[in-house]
Amino acid sequence: MLNVLFSAQPERWDEYRAPLTNAFAKAGLEVDLAQSHTPADVDYIIFAPNGPVTDFSPYTKTKAIMSLWAGVETVVDNATLTQPLCRLVDDSLTNGMVEWVVGHTLRHHLGMDAHITKQDGTWDNFIYPPIAAHRPVTILGIGALGAACGQALHALGFPVTGWSRRAKDIPNIRCLHGDDGLRTALTGAQIVILLLPQTPQTTNILTGDTLALMAKGSSVINPGRGPLIDDAALLAALDSGHIAHATLDVFRIEPLPPQDPYWAHPQVTVTPHIASSTRPETAAEVIVENISRGEAGKPFRYLVDRGRGY
Ligand code: NAP
């Protein structure tokens, strides 16, 4: 019998209990899944950073922490965490992000706001967008989410450049890396999408200097993490018109305070960290599959590298 602790916000328990129970049964694992266990008896923790467990030191026999979130920046440097940490990689989470990114990219590409917000009886059909092939898109971060978004945007005809830490070779994406690669990736980009994890190296990756490399009148879409952007620099670039629009899903402080200048800025769209959510049915299957691997003596998938921070 495995003792599995579910440590997330209490209201998540009702959503996850049945999918996890079913997935454990399907995997043939006998599990006592509960919101409370004696710490020293816990084999695995299914974990959300906003749940009750913050000190991992009493979990002396715990074999792995299975995160319900893809982003692990709030737990990766927890000094009490000595157990392996696996982040969430799940097709539903990925597909949700692809849909959100494609939707917001097409909004900016097609200039949809002009028609959605201005129904004033003016028949003005002289302004039309370029075809996607003439709209270079750059994705900073081409991991599980960024690479999938890149494939979808390529399928629509956009020339896609991606930037990562290590050299990569992904079909349909011009792959760049390193400091020089960042400057090349941003130079002339008309839509920049941020899908980097939050680490000390990625914090403030968009500053006045790097924003200036983007094409005049370009757009920023950030479903990654708030600290990737120097907010004052972005606001200045929006005010100057160099950046035409920013769609922001994530912020340094969440919920974004009502007095934050982003809310009132006419060139900013705020979405409340909804770009893609973890879906209990599929997340349960991914996590149970990973626990099954551990029980079978196989290496865990999606292990976070504590040194690199993601
Ligand atoms: P991932 O698979 O780990 O991919 C991360 C990408 O960022 C990789 O390509 C990685 O490069 C690159 N990267 C990391 N550090 C870098 C650096 N210093 N310089 C250049 N590139 C760097 O992560 P993922 O699953 O795609 O998720 C990405 C992020 O999306 C998460 O961390 C989370 O913050 C965010 N997210 C947001 C939502 C939402 O609803 N808004 C939902 C889910 C996730 P390598 O390929 O070389 O490792």
Topology of the domain covering 2-90+278-295: Rossmann fold (3.40.50)
Pocket test for ligand 1, best of 193, 250, 310 (most atoms within 8 A of CB): 310
Q: What is the mean pLDDT of residues 59-65?
A: 98
What digits encode the pLDDT tens for the residues 240-276? 999 999 999 999 999 999 999 999 999 999 999 999 9
Residue nearest to atom 30 of ligand 1 (CA): 224
Cβ pair 210, 242 in contact under 8 A: no
Task: State whether the beta carbon of 305 lies less than 6 angstroms from ligand 1.
Answer: no
CATH number for region 91-270: 3.40.50.720
Beta bridge partners of 246: 220, 268
- Please tell me the distance between residue 308's alpha carbon and the centre of ligand 1 in angstroms: 12
- How far apart are the C-alpha atoms of 288 and 269, rounded to whole Å? 37
Residue extents of the structural domains in the chain: 2-90+278-295, 91-270
- Please tell me the distance between residue 31's alpha carbon and the centre of ligand 1 in angstroms: 32
* % of the chain beyond a pLDDT of 90: 98
Radius of gyration of the chain (CA): 21
Please name the residues in contact with 95: beta carbons below 8 A apart, sequence gap of 6 or more. 148
Task: State whether the beta carbon of 304 lies less than 6 angstroms from ligand 1.
Answer: no
What digits encode the pLDDT tens for the residues 198-246? 999 999 999 999 999 999 999 999 999 999 999 999 999 999 999 999 9
pLDDT band at 128 (very low <50, low <70, confident <90, very high): confident
- Please tell me the distance between residue 84's alpha carbon and the centre of ligand 1 in angstroms: 19
Alpha-carbon dihedral 192, 203, 310, 243, rounded to 10 degrees: -10
Cα–Cα distance list, 93 to 19, 71, 88, 147, 186 (Å): 16, 12, 9, 13, 26
Evaluate if residue 127 carries a pLDDT over 90.
no
Q: Is 92 exposed, middle or buried (0-12, 13-18, 19+ CB in 10 A)?
A: middle
Task: State whether the beta carbon of 88 lies less than 6 angstroms from ligand 1.
Answer: no
Tell me whether domains 2-90+278-295 and 91-270 share a fold.
yes
